[in-house]
Copies of this chain bind each other. A is one copy, B any other.
């Protein structure tokens, strides 16, 4: 039975645990600072498939299979999977999960999708609507570039605020009363639109939503940044993270000492030419489900917030002159 606290937060009352997870990634992510933490990496951006879209499906499929193997479970033992990605009509999820035959609820929150999917899974398990619920999201640099920006072959210039879409996926399994980090609270975000129109600056478009959700969570729960070892955002990158920290400071909730961002952790800016950092549905998912889950499990982290942000635009909406609305969903997690 969940309980609403404050205006926007859901407190879970059962012991909802993340009992298993897996993060998988591509060759560039393997070469980054978190390379050794991924459960599986691929040497080739195609992952043995004929197209980048099928390669992204392979990432998602591999993440779920690896997670199930670690949990010692068959796909039939999972009651529902919440899944999403950035491709039109979420085809990475559809074709990646098709053979698994797990009841599927497709989620779309742009790069916030992993937090949203984890939130759905947590509420379903807490409610008894599922004994075991899974969450998975993915992204792929090459598939995203040609869909959202330019064909790679153009060799287009990237601006300093641009982020690099992570080639990766992460999957997590939630159930009651198992070993593993516990999900305590969930905050579902609302759309924030500060009229940013620069599609090469997603961090700026998403930072206000991140600040909004984080402030609501602190207000609803009566907690403060100092109550947490880590406030982890999904893919704000360098520009968005700087803005978020400034916004939080302005509101008297300085997070600088505890904040980190998956998009800043996954690549080495000195060695890897990623400009403002990593992004994509697969960024938060692959980092949280590998390096962060491993830290939680060995109690290197005791209490954290995981918040993924999404830029809810499409090339069509941008071509039609629209701004980029942001959204952020949050989970409070204890080791």
> Could you list which residues of chain A lie within 8 angstroms of chain B, going by C-beta atoms?
1-4, 8, 10, 50-51, 53-54, 79-80, 84, 86-91, 94-95, 97-98, 101-110, 116, 119-120, 123-124, 126-131, 186, 188-191, 193, 312-317, 320, 322, 325, 327, 329
User: Nearest CB to that of A122 among chain B residues?
Assistant: B129
A94: B residues at CB distance < 8 A: 191, 312-313, 317, 325
Docked-complex contact A88 and B190, CB < 8 angstroms: no
A50: B residues at CB distance < 8 A: 320
Q: How far is the CB of A96 from chain B (nearest CB, A)?
A: 11
Q: How far is the CB of A319 from chain B (nearest CB, A)?
A: 9
Docked-complex contact A95 and B53, CB < 8 angstroms: no
Interface majority SS (helix, strand, loop, mixed), chain A = mixed
Docked-complex contact B190 and A128, CB < 8 angstroms: no
Docked-complex contact A127 and B123, CB < 8 angstroms: yes
Report which of B128, B320, B329 forms a contact with A3, defined as CB distance below 8 A: B128
Report which of B3, B95, B124, B191 forms a contact with A98, defined as CB distance below 8 A: B191
User: Nearest CB to that of A320 among chain B residues?
Assistant: B51
Docked-complex contact B107 and A107, CB < 8 angstroms: yes
Q: How far is the CB of A320 from chain B (nearest CB, A)?
A: 5
A130: B residues at CB distance < 8 A: 4, 10
Report which of B3, B109, B314, B322 forms a contact with A88, defined as CB distance below 8 A: B314
How far, in angstroms, from A317 to B10 measured CA to CA in the complex? 37
Docked-complex contact B190 and A95, CB < 8 angstroms: no
A317: B residues at CB distance < 8 A: 53, 89, 91, 94-95
How far, in angstroms, from A90 to B123 measured CA to CA in the complex? 23
A327: B residues at CB distance < 8 A: 104
Q: How far is the CB of A309 from chain B (nearest CB, A)?
A: 13
- What would be 21 A-B contacts, judged by CB atoms less than 8 Å apart? A4-B131, A50-B320, A53-B317, A84-B108, A87-B316, A88-B314, A89-B312, A89-B313, A89-B317, A98-B325, A101-B191, A102-B190, A103-B189, A105-B329, A106-B108, A106-B116, A107-B107, A107-B108, A108-B108, A120-B120, A123-B124
How far, in angstroms, from A298 to B2 measured CA to CA in the complex? 33
How far, in angstroms, from A88 to B85 measured CA to CA in the complex? 12
Docked-complex contact B91 and A313, CB < 8 angstroms: yes
Among A97, A108, A109, A322, which residue has the most Cβ atoms of chain B within 10 A?
A: A108
A320: B residues at CB distance < 8 A: 50-51, 53-54
Q: How far is the CB of A332 from chain B (nearest CB, A)?
A: 14
How far, in angstroms, from A110 to B308 measured CA to CA in the complex? 24
A10: B residues at CB distance < 8 A: 129-130
A84: B residues at CB distance < 8 A: 108
Docked-complex contact A4 and B325, CB < 8 angstroms: no
Q: Which 4 A/B pairs are nearest by Cβ-Cβ distance?
A: A127-B127, A89-B314, A106-B108, A103-B188
Docked-complex contact B4 and A79, CB < 8 angstroms: yes
Docked-complex contact B1 and A101, CB < 8 angstroms: no
